[in-house]
Amino acid sequence: MLKDISIIGVPMDLGQERRGVDMGPSAIRYAGVIERLEALGYNIEDLGDIPIAAKRIGAGKNSSHEHLKNLEEVAEVNSKLADAISQVVEKKRFPLIFGGDHSIAIGTLAGAAKPYQNLGVIWYDAHGDLNTAETSPSGNIHGMPLAVSLGLGHPSLTSIGGYQPKVKPENIVIIGARSLDQGEKELIREKNIRVYTMHEIDQFGMTKVMSDAINYLKDKTDGVHLSLDLDGLDPSDAPGVGTPVLGGISYRESHLAMEMLSEADILTSAEFVEVNPILDDKNKTANAAVALMGSLFGEKLC
């Protein structure tokens, strides 16, 4: 992994309807992320936050796209984010992004995938985030970023970065899924996307799931992005998220997953999203995110 890391915060809350996720980047910084990574010998540059348009009252109600809430605003923020990440990549630094809701993955991937022919994506999440306006039960864009990155969705989202698709279905691995909408299940089947649901994690254990996932991606990808939605973890370990789903990945299993990724040394970018301090318990979720980043960047227990 690159020894120089550039942090970008994206206090985005327009991709969903719960207030507070815009405070995620601050909560993660307060949890001591910079000190933690510096202690591991990394050179950290914090580029601050991407500016976000003020949230409208009754988000989406007046939007021109009923099934794509805050479309224009979400698109604008994501194209700024994509540009910021491209600059980080050009400097040969590792982009580390803090959300914000998961709609920011649209911009992250637009920036992070550009230099790669076959960027792998590890989507660590209770959800597939594979909806389009047609399949979404909510109209919330945070449920759509992985579909957008495959080139499926509104053109003002899929065109960000000026190329598409950002990722190919065979280079995606979803880990921790336990809440998939009907249209998402159909897309997973149609595109043959590799998914490790909680069933596989329970049946085979995290060690087997992660080594399988890493082997699946290792030889065919030229870079790998980790998109970690904190709701992939069980709500008892990460209560500060807007769309919690029971029966998730434990804190310890998540540490193991991060340690295995660190060992495999395949990551070229990462993002931690959906931390909502208003819904949290004493910053537990941001603290978990930072502890997981410790493992991801090479912290050893002894």
Indicate if 129 belongs to the active site: yes
Phi, psi angle pair for 15, to nearest 5°: -90, 5
Candidates 49, 101, 200, 231; catalytic one = 231
Indicate if 127 belongs to the active site: yes
Nearest to 5 by CA among 38, 30, 31: 38
Which residues bind to Mn ion, rule: CB under 5 A? Answer: 102, 125-127, 129, 229, 231
Which residues bind to ligand ARG, rule: CB under 6 A? Answer: 102, 127, 129, 131, 136-138, 140, 142-143, 181, 229, 231, 243, 274
161 HSE (CA, 13 A, CB side): 28
Candidates 49, 76, 200, 274; catalytic one = 274
13's contact among Mn ion, ligand ARG, none, with CB below 5 to 8 A by partner kind, is: none
In angstroms, how far is CA 198 from the centroid of its own chain? 18
Least distance from ligand ARG to the Cβ atom of residue 282, Å:
22
Q: Which of residues 125 and 253 has its CB atom nearest to Mn ion in the complex?
A: 125
Q: Are 67 and 139 in contact (CB under 8 A)?
A: yes
Q: Which of residues 36 and 191 has its CB atom nearest to ligand ARG in the complex?
A: 191
Which residue's Cβ lies closest to ligand ARG?
143
Give the separation between CA 183 and CA 197, rounded to whole angstroms: 17
Indicate if 274 belongs to the active site: yes
Write the CA distances from 113 to 76, 95, 118, 238, integer angstroms: 18, 11, 8, 28
Least distance from ligand ARG to the Cβ atom of residue 77, Å:
15
Indicate if 142 belongs to the active site: yes
Helices 251-264 and 284-296: angle between axes, nearest 10 degrees = 30
Q: Which of residues 125 and 200 has its CB atom nearest to ligand ARG in the complex?
A: 125
Candidates 142, 154, 225, 255; catalytic one = 142
Q: Which of residues 11 and 37 has its CB atom nearest to Mn ion in the complex?
A: 11
Q: Which of residues 15 and 161 has its CB atom nearest to Mn ion in the complex?
A: 15
Candidates 49, 129, 234, 280; catalytic one = 129
Indicate if 219 belongs to the active site: no
Nearest to 190 by CA among 175, 172, 171, 169: 169
29 HSE (CA, 13 A, CB side): 20
Residues 6+ apart with CB under 8 A from 171: 118, 119, 120, 121, 217, 220, 221
Least distance from Mn ion to the Cβ atom of residue 213, Å:
17
Indicate if 199 belongs to the active site: no
Residues labelled catalytic: 102, 125, 127, 129, 142, 229, 231, 274
